[in-house]
Amino acid sequence: MAYHDPNTRFYKTKEGAVIGGVCAGLSETLKIDVSLVRIVNIVIGLSGIGLLPYIVLWIALPNKEDIV
């Protein structure tokens, strides 16, 4: 079972970002490969429901520089 720090916050980052930095920030926070996050995002996006959550996260998530 993986350990999860309750103080961990999701954020977006410009480092390694392709579009908005959402996938790069989620991969850093979850400590998984960014390619996996991007593939899952693309698959969900192709199903027709992935674009809206990405846009919401792009707007709602703070930048890494703002919280560190």
What does the pLDDT read at residue 11? 75
Q: What angle do CA 44, 63, 60 make, to 5 degrees?
A: 55
For 1-56, write each residue's pLDDT tens digit.
455 565 677 777 777 777 888 888 888 888 889 899 889 888 888 888 878 888 88
What does the pLDDT read at residue 7? 63
Residues 22, 61: contact at Cβ < 8 Å? yes
| Domain limits, the chain | 22-67
Q: Is the dihedral of CA 44, 16, 19, 64 positive or negative?
A: positive
**The model's pTM:** 0.72
What does the pLDDT read at residue 1? 45
**DSSP per-residue letters across 1-68:** -----TT----B-STT-SSSSHHHHHHHHHTS-HHHHHHHHHHHHHTTSSHHHHHHHHHHSPBHHHH-
